[in-house]
A and B are shown apart, each in its own frame.
Chain A
Amino acid sequence: MLADRENMQAQELSNGVQQQVEQFLYREAMLLDGWRLEEWLALFTQDARYTVPSTEVPEGHPPEYPALIDDDIKRLRGRVTRLMSRHAHREHPWSRTRHFVSNVLITAMHGEELSVTAAFMVYRFRNGRATQYVGRYLYSLARIDGGLKIRQKRAELDMGGLWNQGTVSILL
């Protein structure tokens, strides 16, 4: 992996891959904060996975540790459809959110696949309450036709529990 990274640094970072990845993540955050969820969904590949592990064991994986969210593209589409409905009561009316993304690090590159980690902080405001979600993203991004797509997005939460947040009713 170290060799990969050095190799990558030499050839790719100067080509603006870092900037491309950052711009991609910022744009994703913008779509989420604007509740442009159909456009957000279009960022994913058809074999994508979107996961939010349990807060108790954020590094854990199903089936040993049931996740909070573990969606393939079909269920993710269902989640988006649900959130766009006025009967998704927890998010009707929609909360106001702001996704902050930083510490963006390309950790590996294999062919057209990029592994990226980033820190995030998401603020959610609703009904006079402010809550925060803090953690790190692990992405597998696919370079397709010069652009990027999300093959995997994993949002590991640092809070240890949802004592202040109650739920994860928004997309992280």
Chain B
Amino acid sequence: MSAMIRPAFGKAEIRAAEMVVEDARRGLFKVHRRAFTDEQVLEIERRVIFDHCWLYLGHASEVELPGSFVTREIAGRQLIFSRDRDGKLHAFYNTCSHRGAMVCREPKGRGRSFYCAYHGWAYSDGGVLIDAPGREGVHHAELNLQEVPKLGDYCGFVFVCFDPAAESLEDYLAGARDLLEIVAEQGAGGMEIIGGSHQHSIDANWKLLAENSIDGYHARTVHSTYLEYLESRDGKSHAPAAIDRITHDWGNGHTAMENPTGALAWGRPCARWVPGWGEEARQEIDALMLELAGRLGEERARRVAHGDRNAVIFPNLVVNDIMAVTVRTFYPVSPHHMVVDAWALGPKGESASSRERRLRNFVEFLGPAGFATPDDMELLELCQKSFGNRGLEWNDLSQGMGSRQPVKIDDQQLRTFWRRWRDLMAADGAAEEK
């Protein structure tokens, strides 16, 4: 019965799944704050979420060339994400089959083999054991580098799953495939990660970042200084029209908010012009739009180019397709601390001027030293810190409950995330009771 959470504050025991309370009749949706602070909750999450869900590993462009690799920690596993000389993608556990040492110590690189510095065992780029010095007899298949149970690539977004019985990546992504397609379609020749990752951390529970990434309610307050900066630079008011905001429930906990017609303040390098960019940029944006329309059709092109989307692919992949495209993952180290990887994504072969606009936008808003992200982090840490308060135990996520047309500033997206979380956490308890 480890699904039962230790009682705190003298309260009765509460199951993790019961930390989400939904009362449709009264229009209430509440989340218990212990979901953010409890060690046992995190243990269950590791077991029922991170060991079973598909998790983002990296982008195919990071291992573009045969023999290239990056090393990455995914849900506590040390992995090598690589492409072998035949062009096939792999996700190996970064550990020697002999006695366990990591066989790859570089963050990224390109080579023909992986070599264990402990006893000299060597593996080909396809993971085959090719040398075990002094032990010529041991070359059998079970001593090859082990691959993760499941690896999948959707539009260049590469995922792994540690559950051999899991559904296919396509089925798992469900409606969120649309988002990954929209992002991928921005590059006629595909998309690429620009440079490396911005690695940082937040003293907050990982689910707070999932919530914040799809919280359409906080921009006016948390990001007022960014919006004021845009106004002073571009000299116009940026009050976005509330009417054209929609939210998505894509199934399996994947959710997003979208402004499909481009009412927001900033420019999109692909492709929505703002006066601050000047006339020259306008011509280039028009040309990009023309290319998109030719390739995707008018309607799709308008959505791809003019829309803004903030999405969470459950449990921990954020794709923000806004003033630039950022891809983020975040993993819990403890209930109170997460590590974050953030990448910028852009079209391959993008012009120098367009790339410059993209990076300017990325750095201004999205980076960990931008005009916005540090303030998000501050607010998440203020939440986490206060969750230790006794007496006040429930967060309220009720806004828009029962609404037929939820809007961006409702809590609809957050509820989509939490319902999935609740269902998975409940499944853990059910399994144990059998």
A→B interface (CB under 8 Å)? 52, 54-57, 60, 62-70, 74-75, 78-79, 81-82, 85, 87-91, 127, 129, 160-169
Whole-angstrom CA separation of A161 from B359 in the bound complex: 19
Instruction: Chain A residues near B375: list those with CB within 8 A.
Output: 88-90
Whole-angstrom CA separation of A165 from B199 in the bound complex: 10
Instruction: Chain B residues near A56: list those with CB within 8 A.
Output: 107, 195-199
Contact of B201 among A60, A163, A168 (CB under 8 A): A163
Contact with A along B196-212 (1 / 0, CB 8 A): 11111111000000000
Instruction: Chain A residues near B362: list those with CB within 8 A.
Output: 66
Q: Do B232 and A89 touch across chains, with their CB atoms under 8 A apart?
A: no
Q: Contacts A67-B363, A69-B369, A78-B232 hold; do A87 and B198 have CB atoms under 8 A apart?
A: no
Whole-angstrom CA separation of A63 from B369 in the bound complex: 17
Q: Do B225 and A66 touch across chains, with their CB atoms under 8 A apart?
A: no
Q: Contacts A88-B225, A90-B377, A90-B378 hold; do A79 and B371 have CB atoms under 8 A apart?
A: yes
* 16 residue pairs A–B, Cβ–Cβ below 8 Å: A56-B199, A63-B356, A66-B363, A68-B363, A75-B364, A78-B233, A81-B225, A81-B229, A82-B228, A85-B228, A87-B224, A87-B225, A162-B200, A163-B200, A163-B201, A166-B368
Interface of A (DSSP majority class): loop
Instruction: Chain A residues near B66: list those with CB within 8 A.
Output: none
Q: Do A161 and B379 touch across chains, with their CB atoms under 8 A apart?
A: no
CB distance from B431 to the nearest CB of A (A): 35
Instruction: Chain B residues near A166: list those with CB within 8 A.
Output: 200-203, 368, 374, 377
CB distance from B343 to the nearest CB of A (A): 9
Instruction: Chain B residues near A78: list those with CB within 8 A.
Output: 229, 232-233, 371
Q: Contacts A56-B107, A87-B225 hold; do A70 and B195 have CB atoms under 8 A apart?
A: no
Instruction: Chain B residues near A64: list those with CB within 8 A.
Output: 194-195
Name the interface residues of B344-369: CB closer than 8 Å to any CB of A: 344, 352, 355-356, 359-360, 362-364, 367-369
Instruction: Chain A residues near B201: list those with CB within 8 A.
Output: 162-166
Q: Do B339 and A66 touch across chains, with their CB atoms under 8 A apart?
A: no
- Cross-chain pair count, CB within 8 angstroms: 117
Contact with A along B358-395 (1 / 0, CB 8 A): 01101110011101011101110100010000000000
Contact of A69 among B199, B202, B232, B363 (CB under 8 A): B363
Instruction: Chain B residues near A88: list those with CB within 8 A.
Output: 225, 375
Instruction: Chain B residues near A66: list those with CB within 8 A.
Output: 194-195, 198, 344, 359, 362-363, 367
Q: Do A162 and B198 touch across chains, with their CB atoms under 8 A apart?
A: yes
B222 is an interface residue with CB less than 8 A from chain A: yes
Instruction: Chain B residues near A75: list those with CB within 8 A.
Output: 364
Contact of B352 among A63, A79, A90 (CB under 8 A): A63
Contact of B355 among A63, A129, A160, A164 (CB under 8 A): A63
Whole-angstrom CA separation of A66 from B378 in the bound complex: 23
Q: Do B233 and A62 touch across chains, with their CB atoms under 8 A apart?
A: no
Chain B, Cβ-Cβ closest to A67: B363
Instruction: Chain B residues near A62: list those with CB within 8 A.
Output: 356, 359
